Each structure stands twice: as C-alpha cells, then as structure tokens.
Amino acid sequence: MKVHIVGAGPSGSIAAINAARSNHDVVLSEEHSVSGIPENCSGLFSKEGLESLSSYFNYKKQVVNPIHGANIHFVDQKLSIRRKDPVGYVCNRSAIDQILVEQAESEGAKVNYNEKISGNFHSTNIIGADGPMSHVANHFSFEKIQRYATTMQATLPYKSEDPHMVEVFLSNKLFPGFFGWIIPQNHDFAEFGAGALIPNSAIEAWHNILKLKNLPYAKPRGWLIPIKSRKQTSKRHGNYNVLLVGDSAGQVKSTTGGGLIFGGNCASIAGKFFHDPLRYDLEWRLRFGPDLFAHSMVHKYLRSQSDSGLKLLGRRLKKLNCDDYLSIYGNMDRPTKMMGPQIIKHVLKNICGVS
C-alpha cells in the first residue's frame, strides 16, 4: 500500500520508518530543504521516553546535558525534585530530526524536500505530521485545536547554580496559563523560555523571565504549542484515510508543551495503521490517552489559580513532602505511573503520621 506523510519532523519520520518496515510504499514531504531547521524546541526529553523510541534513533549520541531534576517555583515557593541519576537529557533536537529522516530514507521511504503540500497529495492514505498549524487537518476539515500557547526562547550566557537542574517558574501574572523556564545547556549557557496561553502575550512573558534574572533584553525565537489534543485525529473522507500525528493531533503534554515522546510513540502506531483510521485513534488513546488527560487536568488546575493560590499550593506540596515523593516516584511523561500503592503509603505517612 502507498502512504503519503506530510512533514518530516520527528512524528512524520517515525511514521515513515514504521510504515517502510512493514514494506509499504512511503512518500514523505517536507517543505524545507532540511529537517529540524528552524529548531523550535528546548530539546529536553525524559530518559524513559527516549528509550521508548530507541528502535528509531540512538539518543545517547545526541545528549548535550544530563538533567537530574527540576526546581519548580510556585511564585516564591520552591519545590526541588532531584534524583541521583539523570531523569532526562537535553539533546541536540535538530540532529535528532535529521537522523530520523535519514533513517526513514535508508529504510526505503522516498523523501521529497522543498515540497510544501497544499492539497497535492500523493496517495489516498495520508498522515498529517505537519505540526501545530496542520494544513492536512484544515484541508480535511478536522475540528480545530482549542488551545495554544505562544512561546519565546533563546540560549543565553548564564551560570546555573546547578547545571543539571531545570528551573520552572509558575505565575499566572508573569506567564499567564503557561510558565517560564531555564534549561541549562552546560556550565556557561542556558536556554531561557517563556510562554503564555493565547490570547495572552508571549512577548510580555519573555520580558518577565529576563527580569526575574536581571538579564538585559535578548532577541527570542517564537513558536506555537498546541495545548489540547484534537477530539478527532483520524477519519475516512471519501476515498481518503487521513490520520493526524504529533503536534498536528495535539499529542502534547499540556503541562509542559513537550511533544516529541508522545508524538513519536503515536506516530509509530500511525505508521502501522494508516489504512485503518479508527484503529489508529483507538490504539493511541488506549495507550496514551490517560496520561495526556492527566497532564491536561493538572494544567487546567494550575492555569485557574491566582498567584496567591499557586503559592499556597507550593506550600502545601512542601508540607506533604511531595518533593521527596516525586524525587523517588516522579515520571516526567506518564503521571499514571506515579499512582501506584506507594502514593497511599505516602499520604498515610504525611497526613496521618502512619509509617
């Protein structure tokens, strides 16, 4: 069977590799002359998530900085979550995109660079992996994504107190509906970023993250992050089987905007079931729906809080020793994995004093 995949980001390339591995005839179109540029990503991925995609690329060669945890600032209340071993890695994201598309090509996919798709599809089986403003989704009249964050980011000279800890700043006054971040690249540089839920301004958020660290204005790059999955991510449309994956489907963690791990895993399902839209939708929702839903509920709660509500939340989480719990059981991608019997033990110990 033939499949046309639109967009050679990580989702498109992983879908292409998996379809090619099942001996399908794969065409992958990319509007740019190379994949992964411009880079709109902080490149921070969980170790477990990277390992879930290890049959597609070897992340170990792309690691820029190991990350052991995060300081989460609930306005002025800091929760430190730190593990002895790395929980994630800052990676060279452009290189990952390029390795993936080369892998797709080497496994038999035909890659058409400089081909912007606007209705000129090469097959009746289509996978839209064309990012947050998906042309494929618009063309086939999928319901719109209901929530986007706008972001600004730049890599700046910065000496982190601990270059293996990420800083996350929650404040709906400074970063309405989203957050500010500092992701160290090494001892001397860090990526600064700030986002706000549309219709709030990412430019103001950007000024705010710089002000927090008394840094002068620096020119940022801006981009969009879908913050909610689409209600429908596949359909039969006349003769066409149409699937959406990755950012185009909104398969993104609402709390952080991270999308490579979920998008990549869903793309692997799309590469297998591109001829069966219903099966694709069922498979990815069964495997990842509960985790994406949990992220979306946490995000909903956080964005509904005033700054004094966030401070109170930070104080309460500290009082319940949630930093200790998350340091041991935390999972960057899959909140459902943190909810085993250990949580009951923790609550009994910290609320009722039963150990």
Ligand X SMILES: Cc1cc2nc3c(=O)[nH]c(=O)nc-3n(C[C@H](O)[C@H](O)[C@H](O)COP(=O)(O)OP(=O)(O)OC[C@H]3O[C@@H](n4cnc5c(N)ncnc54)[C@H](O)[C@@H]3O)c2cc1C
Residues that bind ligand X (CB under 6 A): 6-12, 29-32, 35, 40-45, 116-117, 129-131, 135, 151, 153, 193, 223, 225, 246-248, 252, 257-261, 263
* 244 neighbors 233 (Cβ within 8 angstroms): yes
Closer of 77 and 103 to ligand X (Cβ): 103
Shortest distance in whole angstroms from residue 205 CB to ligand X: 12
Q: Measure the CA–CA gap between 210 and 219, rounded to whole angstroms.
A: 11
Shortest distance in whole angstroms from residue 9 CB to ligand X: 2
Name residue 193's beta-bridge partners.
Answer: 153, 181
Q: Measure the CA–CA gap between 249 and 257, rounded to whole angstroms.
A: 13
Q: Measure the CA–CA gap between 213 and 304, rounded to whole angstroms.
A: 26
Residue 69 falls in which region: left (phi positive, over 0), alpha (psi -120 to 50) or beta:
left
Closer of 252 and 302 to ligand X (Cβ): 252
Closer of 126 and 261 to ligand X (Cβ): 261
Q: Which long-range contacts (CB under 8 A, 24 or more apart) does 300-308 make?
A: 300/254, 302/170, 302/255, 303/172, 303/176, 303/177, 303/178, 303/197, 305/172, 306/172, 307/75, 307/171, 307/172, 307/173, 308/75
Closer of 88 and 277 to ligand X (Cβ): 88
Which tokens belong to 150? 């706008």
Shortest distance in whole angstroms from residue 265 CB to ligand X: 11
Which residues, 6 or more positions from 77, have their beta carbon under 8 angstroms from its beta carbon? 310, 311, 313, 314, 315, 318
Closer of 199 and 341 to ligand X (Cβ): 199
Compute CA 10 distance to the chain's CA centroid, rounded to the nearest angstrom.
11
Q: How many CA atoms lie within 13 A of 294 on its CB side?
A: 12
Closer of 148 and 325 to ligand X (Cβ): 148
User: Is residue 38 reached through a cis peptide bond, with omega within 30 degrees of 0 on the bond before it?
Assistant: yes
Shortest distance in whole angstroms from residue 15 CB to ligand X: 9
Shortest distance in whole angstroms from residue 322 CB to ligand X: 23
Closer of 260 and 313 to ligand X (Cβ): 260
Shortest distance in whole angstroms from residue 90 CB to ligand X: 8
Closer of 59 and 223 to ligand X (Cβ): 223
Q: Measure the CA–CA gap between 16 and 27, rounded to whole angstroms.
A: 8
Closer of 296 and 313 to ligand X (Cβ): 296
Shortest distance in whole angstroms from residue 64 CB to ligand X: 12
Shortest distance in whole angstroms from residue 43 CB to ligand X: 5
Pairing, β 69-74 against β 165-170: parallel
Shortest distance in whole angstroms from residue 37 CB to ligand X: 9
